[in-house]
Structure 1
Amino acid sequence: MTFLIARYDKDADFTDDRWDITYVGAPALREIFAVAPEGDIGDVYAITREHAAALTKLTGITFDLAAYEYFLEPEAS
Structure 2
Amino acid sequence: MALETDTRHLGTDRCRHGDVEYRLLHGAFVAMFTLSFGLSRAMPWRWAVRSSDRAPRRSVIDEARATANKIVPMVFMG
> Which TM-score tier does this pair reach, normalised by the shorter chain?
under 0.3
* TM-score (norm: length of structure 1): 0.26
TM-score when normalising by structure 2: 0.26
Greater helix proportion: 2
Higher share of residues assigned strand: 1
- Structure with higher Rg: it is 2
